[in-house]
Amino acid sequence: MSYSAVAAQELAVRALVHIAEHPDLASALLATSGLRPEALRQAARDPDFCVHVLDFLLEDDRRVLDFAQSLSIRPDEVLSARMALAGPGSFGWEPD
């Protein structure tokens, strides 16, 4: 599936909700982001933070698989959404 920036950000917000429902994931995300829990709602509006949320999931296969299963989506859709938010070249490659 190809994601628009808006759809990708919506998926990232759903990912944030998923993470918040799992205390161990929430703690790890807060540690990597440096944010306090009360700042998450505002941060979710920032496309850069949304990329961070998706990157956080993509760091671990189990995280991606669990999230994808919870939404009944293919795991590769998380990467597609991440690329839609971050843009071409975000993984060190440029489109042809």
Q: Indicate whether 47 belongs to any domain.
A: yes
- Predicted model pTM: 0.86
Q: Indicate whether 94 belongs to any domain.
A: no
Here the tokens at position 39 are 């700042």
Domain that holds residue 15: 5-86
At residue 30, the pLDDT reads: 92
Give average pLDDT by consecutive 10-residue segment, the chain, 96 residues: 90 95 94 87 88 94 97 95 82 48
- Taking alpha carbons only, the member of 1, 14, 18, 8 closest to residue 81 is 8
Q: Indicate whether 22 belongs to any domain.
A: yes
At residue 88, the pLDDT reads: 65
∠ CA(16), CA(22), CA(23), 5° rounding?
A: 105
At residue 87, the pLDDT reads: 79
At residue 27, the pLDDT reads: 93
Q: Indicate whether 48 belongs to any domain.
A: yes
Q: Indicate whether 52 belongs to any domain.
A: yes
Total of domains in the chain: 1
Q: Indicate whether 95 belongs to any domain.
A: no
DSSP per-residue letters across 9-78: HHHHHHHHHHHHTSHHHHHHHHHHH---GGGHHHHTT-HHHHHHHHHHHHT-HHHHHHHHHHHT--THHH
